[in-house]
Structure 1
Amino acid sequence: MIVHIVLFKWHPDTSAEKIVSVMSALKGMKGKIPEIIDISCGNNFSELSQGFQNVLVVQFKDKAALDAYAKNADHQEIIKTLIKPILADKITIDYEF
């Protein structure tokens, strides 16, 4: 099993509505990308987050499924149109268990 985690830090002037749109689109990937086993995302409330505001966690069967997800057109469209315009920084972590 592969777990893919992304922490997002948005530009300071990003509206709450834009963040909600991103989170909604990310959650909607489960029905569009067959390689996704499970997906969750939400607001970070930790005071130790170094400014990272949201998190995405996605589970895949194996690395091949993660690679297919990374190249998927629906995923790439979300990145291009919703995430990149408001993204200040991100951290991505992938691990296998």
Structure 2
Amino acid sequence: MVEHIVLLKFAQETTQAQKDELIRRTLELKQIIPGIVDIQQGMNFSTRSQGYEMGLTVRFEDRTSLENYGPHPAHQAIVSYLKEIGLEDSIIVDFELK
């Protein structure tokens, strides 16, 4: 299995409603994109966040599933929405589970 972790930082103009909508849309991907075992997303409450407001974890069956996720139209729609609502930065980590 593969774990995909994403941290997101937004513009000050990004509203909480837009962030909530992002979470709603993202969680739907489990029903749409093959190979997703689990998907979780939520607001970061850590005081050590360095400005990253949201975290996402996606567990995939294997590397092939992760590779297919990136270009999938449903995922690309999320990427477009992120740009639309003011994504400023992201950190992405992918690793295989032992």
Q: Which amino acid aligns with 1:75?
A: H
Match of residue 43 from structure 1: 43
Residue aligned with 1:83, SS: helix
Following TM superposition, by how much is the alpha carbon of 1:78 offset from its aligned partner in structure 2, in angstroms? Answer: 1.3
Match of residue 31 from structure 1: 31
Any gaps of 5 or more consecutive residues in structure 1?
A: none
Identity value in percent: 36
How many residues are paired up? Answer: 96
Following TM superposition, by how much is the alpha carbon of 1:71 offset from its aligned partner in structure 2, in angstroms? Answer: 1.2
Give the ranges of 4+ consecutive aligned residues of structure 1 lying more than 2 Å apart after TM superposition: none
1:17-61 CA distances to partner (integer Å, 9 max, x unpaired)? 111111110001111112111000001011001000001100011
Residue aligned with 1:38, SS: strand
Rounded to whole Å, the distance in 1 between the matches of 2:68 and 2:30 is: 13
Match of residue 20 from structure 2: 20
Rounded to whole Å, the distance in 2 between the matches of 1:36 and 1:51 is: 28
Rounded to whole Å, the distance in 2 between the matches of 1:20 and 1:45 is: 15
Q: Which amino acid aligns with 2:30?
A: K
> Structure 2 matches for 1:1-97, cutoff 5 A?
1-80=1-80, 82-85=81-84, 86-97=86-97
Residue aligned with 1:22, SS: helix
Q: Which amino acid aligns with 2:69?
A: Y
Q: TM-score, normalised by structure 2?
A: 0.95
Following TM superposition, by how much is the alpha carbon of 1:10 offset from its aligned partner in structure 2, in angstroms? Answer: 0.4
Rounded to whole Å, the distance in 2 between the matches of 1:34 and 1:65 is: 7
Any gaps of 5 or more consecutive residues in structure 2?
A: none
